[in-house]
Structure formats: structure tokens, C-alpha cells
Amino acid sequence: MMSMNSKQAFSMHPILHEPKYPHLHTSSEAIRRACLPAPQIQGNIFAGFDETLLRGAEALAAVDIVSQKTHPFKPDATYHTMSSVSCTPTSSSVHLHHPSVLTTHHPHHHHHQPAQGLEGELLDHLNSALPLGGVPGPDVGSTPSHPHSHMSAINHMAHHSQPMNMSHPHGLASHAVISGPETETDPRELESFAERFKQRRIKLGVTQADVGSALANLKIPGVGCLSQSTICRFESLTLSHNNMVALKPILEAWLEEAERAQREKMTKPEIYTGGDKKRKRTSIAAPEKRSLEAYFAVQPRPSSEKIAAIAEKLDLKKNVVRVWFCNQRQKQKRMKFSATY
DNA sequence: AGTATGCAAATAAGG
DNA sequence: CCCTTATTTGCATAC
């Protein structure tokens, strides 16, 4: 069974798909991704031909050398995540990470008219995001309650949301079945919620960043903080539909909690709980990035040992380097693909 | 000084 | 453990 995947030579196809939520700003990013500039990197293969090779060779040599030099200790330079083992146990309890919400995939429904009444688009979404048979039914994103592990569990229920699928013969939608999944995933509902959310947030005199960091105070199992960016994107509906669905209950919980707290005017200053932290993102500095690119030029798929050597040389965590290569390969494929068109 | 966004790390899930 | 693919976020910085 896994054959399914084969379908997408590259599902990250360049075509701009789903403008998710039509109006509101144009989600430039989606479009941007779609359009893939496919620029540099390879650009200089010819331009700086020898230079690149040279650099690559040099880089490799360096790695070999490095294998002997054992550094006394390597500081955790960048910010890193608490990901793998070696982290200084700030709080050992950390399982892995956090809130990543829903992951399902959002089928790129190719065709799909740009404009068309948003009503139509919305309906499509409506019909598409549903429990489909097999799903635990109860709720899709709503009840993030999850034992512990990240919310991943609640994910994958939406799995392949069918592009479209008209309603049933006769709307038995209003079934007895409890579920309100439809309500929760209804784009219109999400849209209005996002709007209400923003208004109420402002009324509370709280910034997006405040909301993000306050989320940890909710102490919801797999939920940690979120960045201002994410809150912003939620409000502007620039997140994927599934992501919106997953985040909604969390933000809703925060909103209610915040309003309640204000009512009691005993706004606790409790800023941030030691609970889950937000995902951290390592910033790889330009020099290191250049080195990595040089290595990549000669060997896009370095062995684990090589990666470790590179990591040490650049003073980065091994996992960071490994992931960098993975992402780099991904990027390259994307570029190659889009270059074909 | 808040809020958008571009770019790309980090993650999730199936192999 | 590592890879790939698809996605979710966040750092930086533009607005």
C-alpha cells in the first residue's frame, strides 16, 4: 500500500494551489512557494566553476582533518532545540516537542478556480475536510486533549481530505451523531473565528506575541508556545486549513481563559510556564551556510560520519547539519522540478 | 512597537 | 538510525 505516494512525482508542484482563504490578503507566500524562483546555488556552477569545486574539495579535506582534532568542548553555539539527546537538561522531562498540530496533508487540489465565489470554494473545503470513514469521529481538531505525546495523535484523521465530494444524497449531515467536526472545520467558521479572535485579543490589550507565549500557561498537554508569526498567520488565515483547524481550539481556550482572568481582574503575571516550549529554530550563520553549501556541492548525501565531522567543524549540532542536508536536497528537487516548467 | 512575510529549520509519518 | 515528502512553525526583517 504506500504506493499512494507515487502519485506525486513532486507534490510540491509549483502550481499555485489553494488560496485557502480567498479574500483577506493574498497569501503571497503560498504563491511564492509555488513560483519557486529556482535561482542561485547552481547559478555559479559555471560562473565560479573551479571555485565551487575547489571549495568543495577544500571542505572535504577539512573534514578529514577535523576528524583528528578533538575539541575540548563544544559550546552549544546557536539556540538549538532540545531535540536530540545531548541537550543540557533544562528540563529533562521534555519528551520531544510540542504542539505541532495537525499534520495531515492538504491535497493540493490542483484545478480549482481562483476566484469563483468564495462561497463555492468554501463549500468545497467544507465538504472536503471531514471525518471520512475510519476516523475516530468525535472531533477533528477540537479536543486537542491528548495524553501526552504531541498532538500528533489528533492529527491524521483528516488524512486525505477529499478534494470534493458532494454531500450525500440527501443531507443527512444534520445527523444525530454528535460530532461537530463540520462546524469546526468549516472555513466560514474558521474565518469568522479568526476575526472575532483578533478583535477580542485587541480588546484585551494583548499582542500577538503575548498570545503566543501565553499559550503555555494553558497547560494543555501537547501545547506549548507559538510565535507571533503563527498567531499573526492564524488571524490572517494564512495557515493551511488543517493547521487552522488544529490551532483554533487552542486559541479559543486561551481567549476564554484570558477573558475570564481579566474579569477577575487578577491577571496573573504568570508568564510562561516551564511546560512545553515553543519549537526553536537554529539560525545558521552565513559562513557556516557557505561551508555547508560547499560540502553539498561535492556530496549531497554525506554519511552519518561525515555529517558528524562537518557538524563538529562548523560547531553545529549533528542533527542540525543532517536536517540541513535533508532540506537542501528537498530544495534542490524543488528547483529542478520548477525549472522544468 | 506591533504586525506582516520570506526563507528555511524542524517535525511528522511512512519506508 | 536515516531518508523522503509534506507541513508546520519561527527567526529575521521588512512594513
Over residues A216-242, the pLDDT tens digits come to 988 888 888 999 999 999 999 999 999
Q: Is the CB of A91 under 7 A from strand C?
A: no
pLDDT tens by residue, A91-123: 333 333 344 444 333 333 333 333 333 333 333
Confidence of residue A281 (pLDDT cuts 50, 70, 90): very high
How far apart are alpha carbons A264 and A262 in whole angstroms?
Answer: 5
**Interatomic distance A259 CA / B8 C1' (Å):** 36
Strand B positions within 7 A of protein Cβ atoms: 1-15
Q: Average pLDDT over chain A, rounded to whole?
A: 63
- Cα distance between residue A247 and residue A232, in whole Å: 12
| Cα separation, A234 vs A190, whole angstroms | 9
Confirm whether any atom of chain C, the nucleic acid strand, is less than 7 Å from CB of A310.
Answer: no
Spanning CA of A258 to C1' of B15, the rounded length in angstroms is 44
**DSSP code of residue A234:** H
As given in the structure block, the three cell numbers for residue A10 are 513532486
Give the C-alpha separation, A47 to A42, whole Å: 9
CB neighbour burial string for A65-97, b if at least 16 within 10 angstroms, e if fewer: ebeeeeeeeeeeebebbbbeeeeeeeeeebeeb
pTM exceeding the 0.85 threshold for the entire prediction: no
For A77, the grid coordinates are: 553555539
- Nucleotide closest to residue A81 (CA–C1'): B10
Nearest protein residue to the C1' atom of C8, measured from CA: A100
Inform me whether the pLDDT recorded for A63 exceeds 60: no
Q: Which bases of strand C have any atom within 7 Å of the beta carbon of a protein residue?
A: 1-12
Residues 197-226 of A with CB under 7 A from strand B: 202, 207-209
B3 C1' to A209 CA distance, Å: 10
Least confident of A47-51, A280-284, A316-320: A47-51
Distance A209 CA to C12 C1' (A): 15
In this prediction, what percent of chain A has a pLDDT beyond 70? 43
Give residues 224-263 of chain A lying near strand C (Cβ < 7 A): 225-230, 233, 239-240, 242-243, 246-247
Residue A140 has pLDDT above 50, yes or no: no
Nucleotide nearest to A102 (CA to C1'): C8
pLDDT digits (tens, 9 = 90+) for A80-93: 333 333 333 333 33
Given a contact cutoff of 8 angstroms between Cβ atoms, the answer to whether A250 and A218 are in contact is yes
Q: Which nucleotide is nearest to A329 (CA to C1')?
A: C4
Statement: residue A157 has pLDDT above 50: no
- The least confident of A137-146, A234-243, A290-299, A328-337 is A137-146
Instruction: Collect contacts of A20-29 with beta carbons under 8 A, ≥24 apart.
Output: A20/A187, A20/A237, A20/A238, A20/A239, A20/A240, A20/A241, A21/A118, A21/A187, A21/A190, A21/A191, A21/A237, A21/A238, A22/A115, A22/A118, A22/A121, A23/A118, A24/A236, A24/A237, A24/A238, A25/A236, A25/A238, A27/A238, A29/A238
Single out the residue of A255, A334, A309, A318 nearest to residue A60, CA to CA.
A309
Residue nearest to nucleotide B10 (CA to C1'): A281
CATH of segment(s) A185-264: 1.10.260.40
Query: Between the CA of residue A225 and those of A204, A211, A216, A289, what are the distances in Å?
Result: 19, 8, 5, 28
CATH of domain A298-336: 1.10.10.60
More confident residue, A39 or A278: A278
Q: Is strand B in 7 Å reach of the CB of A195? A: no
pLDDT band at A337 (very low <50, low <70, confident <90, very high): confident
Residues of each domain in chain A carrying CATH 1.10.10.60: 298-336
Cα–Cα distances (Å) from A106 to A24, A173, A182, A186, in that order, read 20, 23, 17, 15
Residue A15 has pLDDT above 60, yes or no: no
Q: Quick one: cell of A200? A: 477580542
8 Å CB contact between A185 and A126 = yes
B4 C1': nearest CA residue? A232
Looking at chain A, the domain(s) classified CATH 1.10.260.40 span 185-264
Instruction: Look at the block and give the residue holding cell 499534520.
Output: A103
State residue A277's pLDDT score: 80
| Class of residue A303 by CB neighbours under 10 A (exposed 0-12, middle 13-18, buried 19+) | exposed
Confidence at residue A211, expressed as pLDDT on a 0 to 100 scale = 96
Hey, which residues does A133 pair with through a beta bridge?
Answer: A135
Residue type, A338: S
DSSP A78-108: S---S-STTS--SSTT--S------------
pLDDT tens, residue by residue, A232-278? 999 999 999 999 999 999 999 999 999 998 888 765 555 545 667 88
Q: Residue A183's Cα: distance from chain center in Å? A: 24
Of these ranges, A64-68, A106-110, A128-132, A227-231, the one predicted with the greatest mean pLDDT is A227-231
Angle made by CA atoms A62, A66, A68, in degrees to the nearest 5? 140
Residue A56 has pLDDT above 70, yes or no: no
Q: List, for residues A169-212, the tens digit of each pLDDT value.
A: 333 344 455 556 677 788 899 999 999 999 999 999 999 999 99
> Closest CA to B2 C1' — which residue?
A207
CA to C1' distance (Å), from A106 to B9? 21
Q: For A199 and B10, how far is CA from C1' in angstroms?
A: 31
Residues 110-169 of A with CB under 7 A from strand B: 150, 152-153, 155-156
